[in-house]
Structure formats: structure tokens, C-alpha cells
Structure 1
Amino acid sequence: MTGPVPELEDRAVTCAERLCEADRVLLTSHIDADGLTSAAIAAQALERASIPFETVFKKQLDDQAIADIAATDYDTVLFTDFGSGQLDIIGAHEDAGDFTPVIADHHQPADRETEYHLNPLLFGINGASELSGAGASYVLARALAEVSDNEPDPSVAADGGTVTASGTANARADNRDLAALAVVGAVGDMQASGGELHGANAKIVAEGVDAGVLETGKDLALYGKQTRPLPKLLEYATDVHIPGISNDENGALRFLDGLDLELKRDGEWRRWSGLTNEEKQTVASALVRRAVSSGVPAKKIEGLVSTAYVLPEEPAGTELRDASEFSTLLNATARYERADVGLGVCLGDRDGALERARKLLRNHRRNLSEGIDLVTREGVTHEDNVQWFHAGDRIRETIVGIVAGMAMGNEGISRSKPIIAFAEKRAERESATANRSDDVPAADEEIKVSARGTHSLVRKGLDLSAVMGQASRAVDGDGGGHDVAAGATIPKGNEDEFIERADEIVGDQLS
């Protein structure tokens, strides 16, 4: 069997064989949408291979977090969506015999190698745009299905039904049904540049479509097509700003009232997902005409259409049906110390976990809105090559990077410079089973740094992973990530020196 990414297959099989040799495994993962889907994919693959495991989540894989992992009695540790950038620390514990690491990650590796290391960057595949952490976990899951001695019932299909007489492939038996989660992770990791997934991600999409767990097609590139009433869908559509509609509640209503369509049923606004194809075409055409007449550049107008990734087995009109909305729902869980809730949703809990996730999502949206308003109102400080703000304790460190990215383009906040955000770092208190942590006081010693850029800046040479890594280490911190989005932790009081160094590095990259 050839895996979805042939370049990674041999290494994936090696990692899978090591996991199958383990008596039990400690699975540890990051907390964002990519990390949660990575953990969910790995958890289901381990369970199907009859490998006992326990799951923990970490906001940051620093020295203390790795030491805590080493202090457990697990001999085998599977790291998903992080671990590559901390290989020097992990390797020291491996050398000491504390545990054997198996890593499925896509971040820039540290200058150290280990035998069971699955990372696209090691094989010439871009980990920032072609394969996410969830994608790496999916490649590993496919290999686990291949090497495991455990044989799932071949009569069981991906949806829990039976295989049809036509010989439909058993997607659950070879873990292809997990492709949907891999796509949710990639979309959540902002890898759908230009409106669609590319490279190795596209191969995973193809497997998901073949398995019946994904559907794709061109659609309006607006967030909330499944859940937002039409006026709100258009009002909040700011990626492509359309004068008189975007950020204009009355304008969006007037636009819709001018269309010859049934836009309400039983007194309620319809949602995009409930429109017929003909109705969607009517709205989309009118939007394009308005954009053209308002002077929106042609290149921006092209951005109104993108590839939609739909999970057909999920109910229409819910967050879970659309990969983008699903990823946002997941981001709203672990960033508020409820990784267990996000994992539960990924694993199919459609009762308690989903309702808790929706409550967290409402809170998340409110916090994002307040954070964006704060940054826009108070403004940012412009250096020669970067812009920055310090949120202190007014924006949670787990969402300050999202706020920074969403604020770009607002009044006084440029999209032609990367933005750097500081926030006070909260002390982390976790349990081994990822149970909810109570609020704890902010740590006085450390500052969380988040940086966001644009794909246009990346094409010009921006690499925020290098910026965060080099600038943080210059002030006795540490950091890394991707070219378009990265983060760091630095000692409190070193923010000015960090900005000075980061500004120099960005200047060199973009010169």
C-alpha cells in the first residue's frame, strides 16, 4: 500500500513499527486546531491498532513540559504538532534513557535528529503550506493501519454502516476516514493559501473525497456559510472589503433586500448553506457587481471565490460541516484550557462536548471582538519594518496572535508589515488527562510573543519562524513556528530589545 505522501512513507512505517512495539504510549500534542486534530487522528489510529495510550496537551513544549513528560513512567512518547523544534531538549532525555520519542510534526526542526522523526521538511516538503501537523499525523495513521497486526472488521464502513456490494473501499480499515480531520487541521493552520490546499495536503484531500468523508467545490470565500444568517455573513466578510456591505449592518441588509430572492423563511433569515445553487449564483454575481462598481481591485475580487471543504457526514447548518468553521470551534476550546472538549468533538462526541464547545466558541468570538477593538482603538507602534502592540493582561496569551492577525488592515494597522503582539504569560496548570484547569494568576517572569504576516510578505522573503527564533534567543528566550505565523516566549522586561532585533531581521529578509 502506498501512503498519501510517498516521500514520507518509509519514515512513517518506521515510526509506526516502533509504536506497535510499545506496551503503551503517552500521546502529547499542541492545543490549537491543528494540534487537536493531530491528537484525534493519532488517538484513533492507536486505538484501532490496539495500542494502549494516554493523552496530554501542552500550550508550549518547553524545558519544564518535557521534564514533566520524562518524569512519567512511559517509555514511548508520541509528539504530534510539536517536538521537532525541541529536538535538542527531547534528545537529551532520550540519551538519558527517559523515553523514546516518536515525532509527527511539521515545524522547523532543531539541529538534532532522532530515529523516529516524521516531518515533511526533512523530505523537501514545505511544512508551512503543504502539510500540517494533522497531515503528518494522518500519514502516520495510514502507516499504522498498514503495519498493525490488528485487523478491523472489513464489513464496517467509515460511517459505521456496512460496505456496499459494489466493493466500496473500507476507509476505516486503512484510516482514510481520518482525512477529514487532517483537512480541518490544515485549514485551521492557515495552509489554504490562495483559497485552497496544495501539495501533500491536496493528496490527503483526494483520499478523503475517495473515502466519502470530504466534498470539495468552488464556493463563496466567506466564513460562516453554514451557521451565519445571510446579513451577518456579508457584514462580517472583511477579507475582501466591499464598500457599503462589509462592516456595515444596514448596508448588508439593503444589499440583500435588493435581490429578487426568498431570503427569509418562517420569519428567519436563511443561511448560505440552505440556498440553492441558482440562489447562490444570484448573490455571488450581485456581490461581484457591487465590488466592481465600488472600485475593488480585480485581484481582490478573485478572492471572493475559493475551494470549500465540506464534511458530508456532519449535519448541514452546523459548524462541523465546514472545515473552516470546525477549526474555529476547536480553537475556542483548548485556548481556554478545555482541550478535552475539543478532542471529544473530534472523536465524535456530539452531545456534551459539542455543546460545551459551542459555549466556548461564543466566548471566544466575544474575546476576539473585544481584543480587535482594543488594538484598533489604541493603535500599534510602527518601526521601520515591523509594527507591534503590548496587550499586557488585557488579551489572553492564547488568542493574542489571532487578534493580531485579524486586526491587520484595520485603521492604522498595516498589511505591508508583519505585526508582533506581546501578552503576559499565564502560569500553566495541567493534569495528565487534560482535564480543565482553573484560572491561575499570570506569570510575572515571562512574556508571550506572537507574530503574524501575510502570504504576500512571505513571497517577498519574510520568515517569521526565523525572526521569532533569532530575536527571542538574543534575549534569553526561545521561539519558532512558520514563515507566516510564529511565536516565542521571552523574559519580561526584554520587549524593547526583542523588537529592535526583530525589526533588524525583518529588514534584512525583505531588503
Structure 2
Amino acid sequence: MAGPIPALEERATACAEHLLECDRVLLASHIDADGLTSAAVAASALERAGLPFETVFEKQLDAEAIEAIAATDYDTVLFTDFGSGQLDIIADHEDAGDFTPVIADHHQPAEADTTYHLNPLLFGINGASELSGAGASYVLARALAEAGEESGTAGTVETAGEPTATDGGAATARADNRDLAALAVVGAVGDMQASGGELHGANAKIVAEGVEAGVLETATDLALYGKQTRPLPKLLEYASDVDIPGISNDGNGALRFLDGLGLELKRDGEWRCWATLTSEEKQTVASALVKKAVTSGVPAHKIDDLVGTSYVLATEPVGTELRDASEFSTLLNATARYERADVGLGVCLGDRDEALERARQLLREHRRNLSNGIDLVTREGVTREDHVQWFDAGDRIRETIVGIVAGMAVGNAGISRSMPILAFANKNDEEVKVSARGTHSLVRKGLDLSVVMGEASRAVGGDGGGHDVAAGATVPAEKKDEFVEHADAIVGEQLGDN
């Protein structure tokens, strides 16, 4: 059976065959939503193949972290959602005989290379918009299932907490790992790859496999966050990506709007959420919302942004954050960014008891911290250079969430959407973390924040990278101003000094 991405099939097969020859594997992954889902996809595939493994997470795969990995007694290390950008360091350890790396990543590779390197960028596929880290892990998982079947080494071990197949189709999807497509989509959505309201390229092929496997459902729907869990008034009030006067950021206005639609908005004294509305009720709200936007003078291209493709995890309960790919990814972000990657991984692997409850507690804390951070940035404002805008949160915003805060603050009063934003937060006494966020519109004009962060950070003795629309770096604290100067100049060059 051919894999989902033909261009990657040969390399994925080589990686899978090597893993199947191992006695055991160390699985190392990043901590964001894409990293957690990457790890979960890989862990599920390894366990199903009967391969013993241990999982570790790293906030940043730097020389120190790689040194610690090399100090373990594992002969093979599977890196997911990072590793490509650190190949120069990894290759040195490989040459020294410390371990054999297998990499399933989508970030810009370093100059070095290795035999078992699965990255879409090596095969002409955009890793920032067409395939996430979880997508690369999914391609590897599919290859593992096929290689294991052909070699007769496929295991029968059940992944802890994983739903059991109830029919032949589900059993087949599990046997060839197509059921893991749902997690891959959560990773892609969490990595902001749903540009223009939907997933494209290789991601779309994974979506198709998930739909075929019965673990995903797609539909044209309102492109608002919180359709599964937010009460209807809050859904509309907080939908600030498309600013509709009298509704967005206006709780009373959102209530008045809904009251005028003649719908049953509460049941048993509780506000209904979007996911529990009938198709007719959804159409009523959507039509009225578009009409309100038109009469309020919202530009046509912004009104188009109200509609997108929804990605629903078909086996999860309606009205829970696990049902919606976007809400699922936010829940995951709220775990590892607070040093509880184990909780996020547990949820991905099917723990619906202790891990899910702890994840929800962390999500509530995460939302409070994001809200406080956005208020801080909006209140204090940003400093504008010629081509970038920036703020320094110091110790007031965690360095693990400062990039999310920056992205969410864009568009608020005084914070422009027409230039990228740089967000600084203290990492330790000597270094600061800087996160950069742009827009897909700026990327289309030539912005590549991966290059910006990489070149500007290295110019001041730091290091960084990422994707064109979102990237990060660590730089010496005393070189912050110099870093901003370099970043501003590089963005100016990319955007033609416009």
C-alpha cells in the first residue's frame, strides 16, 4: 500500500526499516502542540510495531540537550518535530558513534545531513505550510506499519488508553496507522498551517486518509475558535480575527445580536454552544453574522475569513475541546508549556481520566496567563522600527508563551498587522527568548521569519529558526538591541523596503 505522500515514501521506508532492526529506541520530541502530537503518533506506531522505547521532551534542542541524549545508552534516537535544524551538532555525535539519528521533522535543515532524515523540505514540499512535524511522523508511522507487515515483525501490543476498534474498517485503519491521521491534523492546525481557513498540500492528503479511516470529519463552517466549548455569546464576543462592530469584544452586543435571531439559545439553564446547534440554526446565525458584517462596513475579504474548513475528530464527544482540532491543539499547548509534556502526551494517547482533567486545569491557567499577557502588551504598546515592531516582557510573561501572546495581540490598538512582531522574555540571567510572528499575507510578500531569526540571532552570538510565519531564537540579553537592528534590516530586505 502506497504511503500518503509519494515523494516521501522511499525515505520513510528506509527510516522505518532501520527502526524495525533496533532493539529499542529513544524518542525525543518538541513540546508544543505539533511536537506532542508528533511524539504521540510516533509512540503509537513504535508500540504497535512491538518496539520498546522511552520518550523525552525538550523545550529547545540545543547542544546541551543533544549532549544529554548522547549520554544515554540508546543506539538509535528518533527525533520528531526537531532535529533537522540541529543536524550539524547531531552529525558530530553520529560520527563519534554516540547514536544513529532518525529524524522526522519539517524545519529548515542545517548544512549537515544523515541517512535517515525524513523532512518534506528535502523533497520540494513546504514544511511551513504543507506538512507539519506530526505530519512527518504520520508518514513514518504509515511506513512502519507497511514495513512491519512485509517483514512479519509487526507487533500486537495495544497502546495504553487507546480506543479499541469496533469494526473491520476501524481495525484496518489501526493496522496501517491511518487512524493516527487525526493527531497529525491536530499538529498541523496547532502549527498554524491552516492558511486561508484550510490545510493544503501534503496535509490535505493526510486529512483525506483520516476521513477515509473514519477518525476525521470536515465541513465548511464558521472559522471561529471555540465552536465546541464556548457558550454562543462568548464565541461571537471573542471572535476578534474578523472585527464586527457591535459584536466583537462586546459582550452585551453579542447577546443583543443573538437575542434577535429567535433561536433557543439556552437549554436547562445553560447556554448552548455552536456544536450543538442544528444545521438550520447554524445557517441562521451565520447568515445574520455576514449581514451584520456587511452593514457594518467590514471589507469583503475579511468577511470571507469568517468561513473556513472545520476539522472534527469524529470519535471524540461533541462539546469537548478534543472534538475540534484547533481546541485540541490549544489544550496541548497548555500542558508542555507549563512543564507537563507527559500530560499532553497522555491525552494524545487516549487517557481521558487523570491526564485530561489535569490538562483542562492547565488550560484554564494558560488562558488566564494569555489574557494577562495580551492586556499587558496592549496597555504598554510596542516599539516600532522601520520594518518590525517589538516588546520586551522581561519576567512578566513566560518565555514559553510569549510568542502566543504576541500573535494574539496583533491587531489590537496600536499593534499593526502590516509588520511582523518580535516578543522578548527572559530565559535566564544571561539570555532572552525572542519569538517572532507574522501573517500569511506578509509571507506571500516575501517574509521568512525562519531566515530572519536564524541570521539575526547568529549575528549576535545566539541561535534560532522556525518557519516563515512564526519563528524563535535565544540571544544574549545584552545584545537585544543589536538583534533588533539586524532583524529589522533583514525584514526590510525581504519585503523590499516597502
When the two structures are superposed, what TM-score results if normalisation uses the length of structure 1? 0.95
Equivalence for 1:141 = 141
Q: Structure 1 residue 161 and structure 2 residue 165: aligned? A: yes
State the 1:21 CA deviation: 1.1
Among 150, 153, 173, the residue aligned to 1:150: 153
Q: How does 1:391-410 map to 2 (within 5 A)?
A: 391-410=393-412
Equivalence for 2:230 = 228
**Preserved CA contact (<8 Å) 2:49 2:156:** no
Q: In the aligned structure 1, how far is the partner of 2:356 from the partner of 2:219?
A: 27
Q: How does 1:307-318 map to 2 (within 5 A)?
A: 307-318=309-320
Please tell me the residue identity of whatever aligns with 2:338: Y
Equivalence for 1:463 = 448
Please tell me the residue identity of whatever aligns with 1:503: D
Q: 1:113 to 1:152 in 2, by over 3 A?
A: closer
State the 1:151 CA deviation: 4.1
Equivalence for 1:296 = 298
- Give the count of matched residue pairs: 491
1:383-435 CA distances to partner (integer Å, 9 max, x unpaired)?
Answer: 0000000000000000000000100010010000000011001xxxxxxxxxx
**Preserved CA contact (<8 Å) 2:20 2:153:** no
Q: Structure 1 residue 488 and structure 2 residue 490: aligned? A: no
Q: How does 1:99-114 map to 2 (within 5 A)?
A: 99-114=99-114
SS at match of 1:84: coil
State the 1:301 CA deviation: 0.3
SS at match of 1:28: strand
Q: In the aligned structure 2, how far is the partner of 1:249 from the partner of 1:163?
A: 46
State the 1:206 CA deviation: 0.3
Q: In the aligned structure 1, how far is the partner of 2:7 from the partner of 2:234?
A: 44
Q: How does 1:274-289 map to 2 (within 5 A)?
A: 274-289=276-291
State the 1:162 CA deviation: 4.0
Q: In the aligned structure 2, how far is the partner of 1:39 from the partner of 1:84?
A: 16
Equivalence for 2:385 = 383
Among 181, 201, 204, the residue aligned to 1:179: 181
Q: In the aligned structure 1, how far is the partner of 2:475 from the partner of 2:71?
A: 25
Equivalence for 1:324 = 326
Q: In the aligned structure 1, how far is the partner of 2:365 from the partner of 2:166?
A: 40
State the 1:260 CA deviation: 1.1
Q: Structure 1 residue 13 and structure 2 residue 13: aligned? A: yes
Identity in percent? 81
1:236-286 CA distances to partner (integer Å, 9 max, x unpaired)?
Answer: 000111000000010001101111111111111111000000000000000
Q: In the aligned structure 1, how far is the partner of 2:12 from the partner of 2:385?
A: 44
State the 1:294 CA deviation: 0.3
Q: In the aligned structure 2, how far is the partner of 1:268 from the partner of 1:358?
A: 20
The runs of 4+ residues in structure 1 deviating greater than 2 Å are 149-154, 161-164
Equivalence for 1:98 = 98
State the 1:163 CA deviation: 3.0
Please tell me the residue identity of whatever aligns with 1:135: G
Equivalence for 2:459 = 474
Q: 1:73 to 1:232 in 2, by over 3 A?
A: same
**Preserved CA contact (<8 Å) 2:165 2:171:** no
Q: In the aligned structure 2, how far is the partner of 1:75 from the partner of 1:477?
A: 30
Q: In the aligned structure 1, how far is the partner of 2:101 from the partner of 2:59?
A: 19
**Preserved CA contact (<8 Å) 1:152 1:173:** no
Please tell me the residue identity of whatever aligns with 1:46: L
Q: In the aligned structure 1, how far is the partner of 2:2 from the partner of 2:113?
A: 25
1:145-171 CA distances to partner (integer Å, 9 max, x unpaired)?
Answer: 0111334679x9x9523434xx67700
Identify unmatched segments of 5+ residues in structure 2. none
When the two structures are superposed, what TM-score results if normalisation uses the length of structure 2? 0.97
1:207-235 CA distances to partner (integer Å, 9 max, x unpaired)?
Answer: 00000000001011100000000000000
State the 1:445 CA deviation: 1.2
Equivalence for 2:37 = 37
Among 200, 205, 208, the residue aligned to 2:207: 205
**Preserved CA contact (<8 Å) 2:50 2:156:** no
**Preserved CA contact (<8 Å) 2:48 2:156:** no
**Preserved CA contact (<8 Å) 1:151 1:173:** no
Q: In the aligned structure 1, how far is the partner of 2:127 from the partner of 2:165?
A: 35
SS at match of 1:444: coil
Identify unmatched segments of 5+ residues in structure 1. 426-442
1:45-73 CA distances to partner (integer Å, 9 max, x unpaired)?
Answer: 00000111000000000010000000111
Q: In the aligned structure 1, how far is the partner of 2:67 from the partner of 2:393?
A: 30
Equivalence for 1:70 = 70
1:126-155 CA distances to partner (integer Å, 9 max, x unpaired)?
Answer: 00000000000000000000111334679x
Q: In the aligned structure 1, how far is the partner of 2:266 from the partner of 2:167?
A: 40
Q: In the aligned structure 1, how far is the partner of 2:331 from the partner of 2:378?
A: 24
Q: How does 1:409-420 map to 2 (within 5 A)?
A: 409-420=411-422
**Preserved CA contact (<8 Å) 2:47 2:155:** no
**Preserved CA contact (<8 Å) 2:36 2:341:** yes
Equivalence for 2:438 = 453
Please tell me the residue identity of whatever aligns with 1:486: A
**Preserved CA contact (<8 Å) 1:48 1:150:** no
Please tell me the residue identity of whatever aligns with 1:396: R
Equivalence for 2:348 = 346
Please tell me the residue identity of whatever aligns with 1:449: V
SS at match of 2:425: strand
SS at match of 1:468: helix
Q: Structure 1 residue 336 and structure 2 residue 338: aligned? A: yes
State the 1:19 CA deviation: 0.7
State the 1:353 CA deviation: 0.1
Equivalence for 1:444 = 429
SS at match of 1:219: strand
**Preserved CA contact (<8 Å) 1:452 1:486:** yes
